[in-house]
Amino acid sequence: MHTKRSLFGLACRAAAFGFLVFGTASLLHAQQVVSPTTVARSPFFLASSAVPDFAGSSSSSSSSDAVAEDGLSLRADALDSSQPPPRRRYGRPNYASSNSNPDGSSKWAFVGGVGLTMPVGDTHFWETPSWGFQVGGGRNWSKTFGVLAQFDYDHFGLQGATIANEDYIYNYCTTAEYSAGECLPQGPAPSGTSTPIDGSNHVWSFTLNPTFTVPTEGSLGAYVVVGGGFYHKVTNFTTPTTAEECYYFCEEVNVNQTFDHYTSNAPGVNAGFGLTYKMSKFSNERFYMEARYVLMLNSQKTGVTDANIASAPLTATNFYPANSNRTSYIPIKFGIRF
């Protein structure tokens, strides 16, 4: 009886050992035929297929470790092969369109502003500060460079001394002297008494102005402008006159009527700088303030002045030669650029 039990136990042990050997061999064979794609798609396959570690079975442990190491290497290869290609490097974004430059700036520029004008240099001895305005438009080639075509109108008053000198010139003759040909026929109507006069002048111009914008961050900006073009200067002298105005009824009013005027055409140049402010970094409109120096290259003409009136030739017709003097002034304008 004891012998039968021993034989029966021995048979059980032999069967268990054979089953273990057969299972291990089958697992190794299956691991060798698994493709990398299958491993990549099922990263936990090997972990779930690990063979249990039976006590006292060193061969099964070593086989399991080998399978695990092999599975990890296959998984690493599969992961490496599935990585995307290196990221493509891009340059600066290109925003080029019918209205935008490649750097994102608008191709078209417009400006409009008003302000004051200040005569400087010799011009200051004849004229007084007044007002002016400017409008223009042009082409931006980038965020930092553009060219504007502008129309500017700058108005000036006349100094008290200028008016006094002209009043003296225009009222120099008496009726008797004029009739005798002893002096020039100045004034709107030589009467022997002083006729009060007034006057003003203005300059309008058409110019091309390259503009260089200083690169800045934030809402504040700055730019430098230079340019040149055609300048036209006009001086008008007026005297009080009674006129009749009729709307629903007629009445007599006193108006200043122009009785003499002088013009001067010349090339000119300008240069200056400006500051800008944007309400938002996404807005294209900017408030601006700029100051320029303007020089009108007039051709000097001779004429009658208060200093040479007694010896002036009778053929002289220019009673305000200062209109053709070199003209220089500083316009200061405020407005919107976009």
Give the pLDDT score at 36: 46
Tokens of 220: 């504040």
Nearest-angstrom CA–CA distance, 142 and 70: 61
In this structure, is residue 95 part of a structural domain? no
In this structure, is residue 172 part of a structural domain? yes
pLDDT tens digit sequence for 199-253:
999 999 999 999 999 988 888 999 999 999 999 999 999 988 877 777 777 877 7
Instruction: Based on the fold, state whether residues 175 and 274 are members of the same structural domain.
Output: yes
In this structure, is residue 12 part of a structural domain? yes
Instruction: Based on the fold, state whether residues 52 and 128 are members of the same structural domain.
Output: no
In this structure, is residue 101 part of a structural domain? no
Domain boundary among 42, 66, 81: 81
**Strand ranges, E, within 278-323:** 286-296
Higher-confidence position of 281 and 129: 129
Give the pLDDT score at 256: 83
Instruction: Based on the fold, state whether residues 23 and 132 are members of the same structural domain.
Output: no
Instruction: Based on the fold, state whether residues 214 and 327 are members of the same structural domain.
Output: yes
Instruction: Based on the fold, state whether residues 234 and 118 are members of the same structural domain.
Output: yes
Q: Would the pLDDT of 117 be above 80?
A: yes
Instruction: Based on the fold, state whether residues 62 and 157 are members of the same structural domain.
Output: no
Instruction: Based on the fold, state whether residues 63 and 143 are members of the same structural domain.
Output: no
Instruction: Based on the fold, state whether residues 184 and 332 are members of the same structural domain.
Output: yes
In this structure, is residue 102 part of a structural domain? no
pLDDT band of residue 20 (cuts 50, 70, 90) is low
Instruction: Based on the fold, state whether residues 67 and 122 are members of the same structural domain.
Output: no
Higher-confidence position of 251 and 327: 327
pLDDT tens digit sequence for 144-169:
999 999 999 999 999 999 998 888 88
In this structure, is residue 160 part of a structural domain? yes
pLDDT band of residue 43 (cuts 50, 70, 90) is very low
Torsion over CA: 14, 15, 17, 18 (sign): positive
Nearest by Cα to 238 from 189, 200, 280, 285 = 200
Residue pair 208/230 in contact by the 8 Å Cβ criterion: no
- Range of the structural domain that residue 49 is part of: 2-81
Phi, psi values for residue 337, rounded to 5°: -115, 140
Give the pLDDT score at 181: 56
Nearest by Cα to 244 from 234, 226, 231, 257 = 257
Q: pTM to 2 decimals?
A: 0.67
Rounded mean pLDDT of 288-313? 88
Count up the domains in the chain and report the number: 2
Domain CATH code at residue 333: 2.40.160.20
In this structure, is residue 96 part of a structural domain? no
Helix (H) or strand (E) holding 58: helix 58-81
Alpha carbon of residue 160 to chain centroid:
42
Instruction: Based on the fold, state whether residues 285 and 176 are members of the same structural domain.
Output: yes
Tell me which residue has tokens 């305005």: 133
Tokens of 43: 């990263």
Phi, psi values for residue 125, rounded to 5°: -70, -15
**Alpha carbon of 134 to those of 107, 157, 214, 268, 290: distances in Å?**
21, 19, 22, 16, 11
Instruction: Based on the fold, state whether residues 317 and 177 are members of the same structural domain.
Output: yes
Number of CB atoms found within 10 A of residue 312's CB:
20
Instruction: Based on the fold, state whether residues 315 and 180 are members of the same structural domain.
Output: yes
In this structure, is residue 326 part of a structural domain? yes
Domain boundary among 29, 63, 81: 81
Nearest by Cα to 61 from 75, 51, 71 = 51
